[in-house]
Structure 1
Amino acid sequence: MKRHEAREKAFQTLFQLDSTDMTVEEAIEYIMEGKTDAFYDVLVQGTHKNRADIDLLLKQNLEKWSLDRLPKTERTILRIAIFELEYLDDAPDRVILNEAIELSKSYGDDQSPKFVNGVLSKFTDRKGE
């Protein structure tokens, strides 16, 4: 599975978790239908496990928005991207940012890409990239 597809599947899984009472294992099975992918697993498990810390970072970088007020689509995309930016070191920040914007174009509304870019640029700017 290519990384873009793994990110898309991770988005679908984590969105499902945010929308239902499924366990992470049930959501993975529902989305992946028995298939496996190492990068996908890292994204889903890592984002899910570190969600409280990721949400804290996200809250600190939102202007005029509360976490609860964010649409689930953008909130899920931002959580995955922040996990990658803060916890993984295997892709350049600009690639992670671009992937998040592409997901927001596919799953969000017309304003989503600009919003996601604005929030995530705060993370990349402070890291100097």
Structure 2
Amino acid sequence: MKRHEAREKALQTLFQVDGTELTIAEATEHVMGLERDNFYDLLVQGTHTNMEAIDEKLKGHLEHWTLERLPKVERTILRMAVFELAYMEDAPASVIMNEAIELSKTFGDDKSSRFVNGVLSKFTDELAN
């Protein structure tokens, strides 16, 4: 499975879990069936396990928004991207940002990609300093 597809499936899995009673295992089964992918597993487990720390990192970059008010798609995309940017070192920040923007174009509304780009730009600027 290519990384872009793994990110799409991770988004679908984490989206299902956000605010529901579903477990990661149940959501993974719905999205992946019996198929397995290491990058997908790392992205889903890492984002879910580190969600509190990721949310704290995100809060400082949301102007006039709270995490709770964000649409679920954007919140999930941002969480995944921040996990990759902050905890993984195998892809350049520009690739991670581009992937997040593409996911927001596919799964979000007309304004999603600009919003995701703005938040992640602030986050990557902070990481660079």
Q: TM-score range by the shorter chain?
A: over 0.9
The match for 1:72 is 72
Tell me by how many angstroms 1:60 deviates: 1.2
Q: Which amino acid aligns with 1:35?
A: E
Secondary structure at the residue paired with 1:9?
A: helix
Identity percentage of aligned residues? 65
Once residues 103 and 72 of structure 1 are traced to their aligned partners in structure 2, the CA distance between those partners, rounded to angstroms, is 13
User: Cα RMSD between the aligned structures?
Assistant: 1.1
Tell me by how many angstroms 1:20 deviates: 2.4
Once residues 6 and 113 of structure 1 are traced to their aligned partners in structure 2, the CA distance between those partners, rounded to angstroms, is 19
Displaced runs of 4+ in structure 1, greater than 4 A?
Answer: none
Secondary structure at the residue paired with 2:68?
A: helix
Task: Report Cα offsets for 1:43-78 as digits up to 9, x if no partner.
Answer: 000000000000111111110001100000000000
The match for 1:120 is 120
Unaligned runs of 5+ in 2: none
Instruction: Give the total of aligned pairs.
Output: 129
The match for 1:7 is 7
The match for 1:25 is 25
Matches within 5 A, 1:33-44: 33-44=33-44
Secondary structure at the residue paired with 1:63?
A: coil
Secondary structure at the residue paired with 1:69?
A: coil
Superposition TM-score, scaled by structure 2 size: 0.97
The match for 1:56 is 56
Task: Report Cα offsets for 1:67-102 as digits up to 9, x if no partner.
Answer: 100000000000000000000000000000000000
Once residues 51 and 20 of structure 1 are traced to their aligned partners in structure 2, the CA distance between those partners, rounded to angstroms, is 15
